[in-house]
Amino acid sequence: MYRHRVQYYETDRMGITHHSNYIRWMEEARADFLEKKGWPYERIEEEGIISPVISVDCRYKKPTTFADEVDIEVSVLEFNGVKLKIGYVMKLGEETVCEGESMHCFLNKEGKPVKLSKVLPDFHDMFQNSIEKG
């Protein structure tokens, strides 16, 4: 789990977190997830792989405000070796404030799609072993 403390600059004139920040928090939580799994972005890029976001979905349930501590649970929802779908549940205490997903693909440095099982089998296996069973 990743924890984000809402910063003052992330709030709008009404004092609530601007909706665009939740997508940034997804990225923070995803980077933290990968690092904890032994695959920080730096390592992935050193291996010649990039993983752009190809879609994102965000459903807002309840607003957050300055200094709130939002816990973000990250899970691998789908993975086929070429595309990856990651889920996010953001909570303030026990209450869900936002849910979302991001979809990613994997490319080499020339921008061509790659199949992870062939070019980076350990990275592939980490995702395969992390898929939510349920």
CATH number of the CATH domain containing 93: 3.10.129.10
In sign, the C-alpha dihedral spanning 122, 125, 130, 131 is positive
> Which H/E stretch holds residue 118?
helix 116-119
**pLDDT at res. 108:** 93
**pLDDT at res. 133:** 58
Domain with 73 in it: 2-130
The count of domains in the chain is 1
- For the chain, residues with pLDDT lower than 50 are 134
Q: Mean pLDDT for the chain?
A: 94
Task: Just list the catalytic residues.
Answer: 12
